[in-house]
């Protein structure tokens, strides 16, 4: 029995959880969305301050909810990279201090490895290898999951993340922040075929297109041009048709890449994570396409798709089991490639 207390503060959710491998004893998330909403997006300084204000209370709540005291905690884990440096520092300093005070092991966790481990929380029987599609406000990646700490990034976005594209399009349609849920809701009343938008293919120097990489900035500009054209023509903006057409383009583009990648690498299990995993069009298209190839597709419960600390604890538990712990002088990093995960641990 190894109980891990985990902290996640890489962006705009302050989260604390206690897990025992793939079992979650408590999972508390304090979202900062209402605060950042006032500014139309995440303000890093505000995020750090909010983390600082809530973290201690959330740790106490997590212990209470799990009905555990410090004696029963074996290790303390926190996200160390990638993310907003000031925000990461709050979680990391807290975790290191608690590890020192209570004489526990300390583990730094890569945020994306956490998102991959979220899949195990939804399906504890799952084992690698599988293909992971991570689609959030900060990331869009296709990852070949081979083992704990062993990942190959097969595809990614060349510019905006998928969620970022939803947020930017929502902003230009003046629908508020975060954009994904509003666009998803509005799209339900619209015609997804109303406007033809570019899917965002990435050209290769040798000709042709990258099979798995995506680009969303062209799509966002195409929506902007469409809005400008319709406004110039004096038309009332058909918001639901624009939302539905945009969403359809993103969902179909992602589905095409995921399926091609799974076929090429012979991976018949596909796990989806990140806030955009909530998108109804993505769920529909990916489920349909996966079924026609006899692939299994796993969408973990949404509370584990969006940022949370249970996924960080689950990843830390696997590393801890293998004897990996982090040094107390480990630094936070705003950027870190997933294939550098093992740099976080002393072995």
Give me the residues that bind Zn ion (CB under 5 A), please: 136, 307
Q: Among 8, 184, 199, 241, which residue sits at the site for ligand KG4 (rule: CB under 6 A)?
A: 184
Answer with the entry of Zn ion, ligand KG4, none that 137 interacts with (C-beta below 5 to 8 A by kind): ligand KG4
Helix or strand (DSSP H, E) at 271: strand 269-273
Q: How far is the CB of 200 from ligand KG4 (least distance, A)?
A: 16
Question: Please, which of residues 105-164 interact with ligand KG4 by CB under 6 A?
Answer: 136-138, 163-164
Q: Looking at residues 189 to 248 of the shown chain, list those that interact with ligand KG4 (rule: CB under 6 A).
A: none
Q: Which is nearer to ligand KG4, 128 or 179 (CB)?
A: 179
User: Comparing C-alpha atoms, which of 164, 199, 192, 201 is closest to residue 281?
Assistant: 192
Q: Which of 150, 81, 158, 147 is nearest to 112 (CA)?
A: 81
Gap between the Cα atoms of 19 and 3, Å rounded = 6
345, 319 in Cβ contact below 8 A? yes
Q: Nearest approach, Cβ of 273 to ligand KG4 (angstroms)?
A: 8
Indicate the residue among 282 and 317 with the shorter CB distance to ligand KG4: 282
Burial class from Cβ neighbours inside 10 Å (0-12, 13-18, 19+) for residue 125 reads exposed
- Cβ of residue 133: shortest distance to Zn ion, in angstroms? 13
User: According to CB under 6 A, which one of 4, 7, 11, 63 is a site residue for ligand KG4?
Assistant: 11
**Cα-to-chain-centroid distance, residue 115:** 6
Q: Per CB under 6 A, does 179 bind ligand KG4?
A: yes
Residue 174 structure tokens:
């003046």
The H-assigned helical ranges of the chain are 33-37, 44-66, 85-102, 111-122, 162-172, 179-187, 217-232, 239-265, 280-292, 302-305, 310-321
Quote the radius of gyration of the chain (alpha carbons, Å).
Answer: 20
Which lies closer to ligand KG4 via its Cβ, residue 78 or residue 306? 306
Q: Whose Cβ is closer to ligand KG4: residue 82's or residue 108's?
A: 82
Of 250 and 290, the one with the shorter C-beta distance to Zn ion is 250
Of the candidates 214, 166, 187, 185, the residue with the CA atom closest to the CA atom of residue 41: 166
Which does residue 180 bind out of Zn ion, ligand KG4, none, counting CB within 5 to 8 angstroms by kind? ligand KG4
Q: How far is the CB of 286 from Zn ion (least distance, A)?
A: 19
Residue numbers at the binding site for ligand KG4 (CB under 6 A): 11, 136-138, 163-164, 166-167, 178-181, 184, 274-276, 278-279, 306-307
């Amino acid at each position: 029995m190894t109980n891990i207390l985990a902290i996640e503060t890489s962006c705009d959710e302050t989260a604390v959880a206690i897990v025992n491998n793939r079992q979650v004893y408590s999972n508390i998330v304090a979202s900062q969305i209402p605060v950042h909403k006032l500014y139309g997006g995440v303000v890093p300084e505000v995020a750090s301050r909010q983390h600082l204000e809530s973290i201690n209370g959330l740790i106490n709540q997590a212990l209470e909810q799990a009905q555990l005291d410090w004696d029963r905690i074996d290790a303390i884990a926190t996200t160390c990279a990638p993310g907003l440096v000031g925000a990461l520092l709050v979680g990391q300093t807290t975790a290191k201090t608690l590890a020192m005070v209570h004489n526990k092991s300390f583990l730094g966790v890569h945020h994306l490895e956490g998102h991959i481990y979220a899949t195990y929380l939804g399906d504890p029987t799952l084992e690698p290898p599988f293909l992971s599609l991570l689609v959030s406000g900060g990331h869009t990646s296709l990852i070949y999951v081979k083992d704990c700490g062993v990942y190959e990034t097969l595809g990614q976005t060349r510019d905006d993340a998928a969620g970022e594209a939803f947020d930017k399009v929502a902003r230009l349609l003046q629908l508020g922040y975060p954009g994904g849920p509003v666009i998803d809701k509005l799209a339900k009343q619209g015609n997804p075929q109303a406007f033809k938008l570019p899917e965002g293919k990435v050209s290769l120097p040798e000709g042709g297109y990258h099979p798995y990489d995506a680009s969303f900035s062209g799509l966002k500009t195409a929506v902007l041009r469409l809005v400008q054209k319709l406004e110039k023509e004096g038309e009332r903006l058909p918001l639901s048709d624009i939302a539905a057409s945009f969403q359809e383009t993103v969902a179909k583009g992602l589905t095409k890449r995921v399926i091609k990648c799974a076929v090429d690498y012979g991976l018949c299990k596909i796990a989806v994570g990140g806030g955009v995993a909530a998108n109804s069009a993505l769920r529909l298209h990916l489920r349909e396409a996966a079924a026609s190839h006899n692939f299994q597709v796993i969408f973990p419960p949404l509370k584990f798709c969006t940022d949370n600390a249970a996924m960080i604890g689950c990843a830390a538990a696997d590393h801890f089991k293998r004897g990996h712990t982090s040094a107390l002088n480990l630094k936070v990093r705003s950027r870190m490639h997933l294939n550098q995960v093992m740099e976080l641990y002393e072995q």
